[in-house]
Structure 1
């Protein structure tokens, strides 16, 4: 796991990294399972790596049941449903990639601070025909 800017990178693929980060943010806000929320916060802060979590027993109690439940659910699916679930995942990643492309196309504005501490937005790089 590398650090990029001020946050850990969970995948070299930016779409998968974004999906994993979004999932961890959601888990970090989980009030029903404080141990999983703590785990997500530690991962997001870069205090622990996913490999370290799996290798250690630190969060084993929090991970064991969900992993077992998932394995039981998935192993009980017929092949056609496994394929359908895989397609759902691929579609979700494709949607995230499309969102990322859309975000990169949005015109960016910047704010400049002038001597009197007043901020004025700079729209000079914005292409008004794209909207």
Structure 2
């Protein structure tokens, strides 16, 4: 029996909405004085491309993530829980400004938050 419930990826508008969210979101992140230094040496185009893939996979889209594991990409970067919270706050504001409904925003934030330990390197809390 097929599952007729749309995925979170589908509910928010698929690839097009993810692309718009990522572009808006990184505009905010790169303007944040506490987060900008983490991206000083990054290719913004590659960063956005990888983030689109990551969000697509995290939201159950028909996407393949081709990047390195999150724990490897973020290892040794000095990213703290505070930085992760700032990052998520920018995502929250972006999603709301894009008109995504409150339940979907909550679901997205909950999913992304499950990656906090991989990104901050706090493997003692992973589980």
- Give TM-score scaled by structure 1 length: 0.32
Instruction: Work out which of the two has the higher radius of gyration on C-alpha atoms and give 1 or 2.
Output: 1
> Looking at both structures, which has the greater relative contact order when contacts are Cα pairs under 8 Å and sequence separation is at least 6?
2
When you count helix as a share of all residues, which structure comes out higher?
2
| Higher share of residues assigned strand | 1
TM-score, normalising length from structure 2? 0.32
